[in-house]
Structure 1
Amino acid sequence: MRNNRPAPPLDGLRRQMGRARAQDARPRNRTDSFIRETFRLDREEARSKAREWFDSWPKQAYWTAVESWRQLPDDRIEFTMRRLPTAD
């Protein structure tokens, strides 16, 4: 037996996703001491920026990491780099 009802509108879902993404873009009160910076760059520029971070703040001393990343529709990469403020 098939359900002949039309699919529900996705406007509510779109609004909810937009709010969540906007909230993610705002600085948050974090309890950890990591420094984070988010970038939206072309693929090669993104690789270069990540290398720059790892060269400037070595992973072993600063716990440098790519915290998150995603590919945007225009073949750009959005990613967040994370590191400790000092190597103490």
Structure 2
Amino acid sequence: MAKFTPPPLDGLKRRIDRHRQEKAGERQGMFVRQTFQLSREEAREKAREWFHEFPKAAYWTEVESWRQLEGDKIEFTMRRLPTAD
């Protein structure tokens, strides 16, 4: 009985790598996102800065997600539209 030998995947791996490199500079979806890891007070201040600079009514600015890390650190992602058109 012949033993199955899988085909080489080098070409596929190169195509996947090339695709990822081409897409790396593009924005995913219609929102601009930025993730921060700051102390609780610094996180509050950073969120206030975003809401001040990009008003919620025009940019749909919001804290998309957040979680508490060890100590007093907060990891959070801010999200907004790229323009207020």
TM-score band w.r.t. shorter chain? 0.5 to 0.7
Query: How far 1:29 sits from its partner (Å)?
Result: 6.3
* Pair 1:29–1:54, CA change in 2 (3 A): closer
1:67 matched residue in structure 2 = 64
- Once the two structures are superposed, the pairs formed by residues 47-86 of structure 1 within 5 Å of their partners are 47-86=44-83
**How many residues align structurally?**
61
Task: Give CA deviations for 1:52-77 in whole Å, capped at 9, x if unaligned.
Answer: 00000000000000000000012200
Give the ranges of 4+ consecutive aligned residues of structure 1 lying more than 4 Å apart after TM superposition. Answer: none
Q: How large is the RMSD of aligned CA atoms in angstroms?
A: 1.6
TM-score by length of 2: 0.67
TM-score by length of 1: 0.65
Q: Max radius of gyration: which structure?
A: 2
What residue ranges of structure 2 are gaps of 5+ in the alignment?
Answer: 1-23
The whole-number CA distance in structure 2 between the counterparts of 1:75 and 1:56 is 26
Task: Give CA deviations for 1:34-62 in whole Å, capped at 9, x if unaligned.
Answer: 00000000000000000000000000000
